[in-house]
Amino acid sequence: MPSLRLHVVPDRFAVEHQPNSTFPEDDEWVALVRAPEGLTVVRQAPPFGAFQRWAGFYGDAHGLDVPGMLASVVAPLAEAGISVFVTSTYHADLVLVPEGSLEDAVKALGEAGHAVAVQGAG
């Protein structure tokens, strides 16, 4: 599997399910996925509120035709028992893990051969 240079995105995220929406009412979102069961919205987490906060890993750009890129990140996280939520861009994948699992995720990804930068995380 490929070895990647990943960094922890300094923001924290909230993942929301809006069952009766086709587009959010505001423009404060990072990613949207529309499906038959509703809209999934990823946005920067506000500093307050009772919701799960997610930390994100983002890596170097890679082509869409390179197999195994996402698997090389999510497989070690799965083996470590860490849940993920993934959204992809044209260039790379944003892999979210529960904020409380960040330290374990960094360790698992490092052990899998990835270089993980955590400067500025928080």
* pLDDT tens, position by position, 33-70: 888 888 888 988 987 778 899 999 998 888 788 888 89
Residue pair 28/98 in contact (Cβ under 8 Å)? The answer is: no
Tokens (6 digits) for 62: 């890679």
Give φ, ψ of 54 to 5 degrees.
Answer: -120, 140
Name the pLDDT band for 1 (thresholds 50, 70, 90): low
Residue pair 11/45 in contact (Cβ under 8 Å)? The answer is: yes
Say what the pTM is.
Answer: 0.86
Q: Label residues 69-100 b or e (16+ Cβ within 10 Å = b).
A: bbebbeebbeebebebbebeeeebbbbbbbbe
Residue 65 backbone zone (phi > 0: left; psi -120 to 50: alpha; other: beta): alpha
Predicted local distance difference test score (pLDDT) of residue 65: 83
Percent of the chain with pLDDT over 70: 96
- The domain 5-117 is placed in CATH, from the list 3.55.40.10, 3.40.50.12160, 3.40.50.300, 3.30.2130.10, at 3.30.2130.10
Predicted local distance difference test score (pLDDT) of residue 121: 45
Higher-confidence position of 110 and 49: 110
Higher-confidence position of 115 and 2: 115
Going from N- to C-terminal start, the domains of the chain cover 5-117
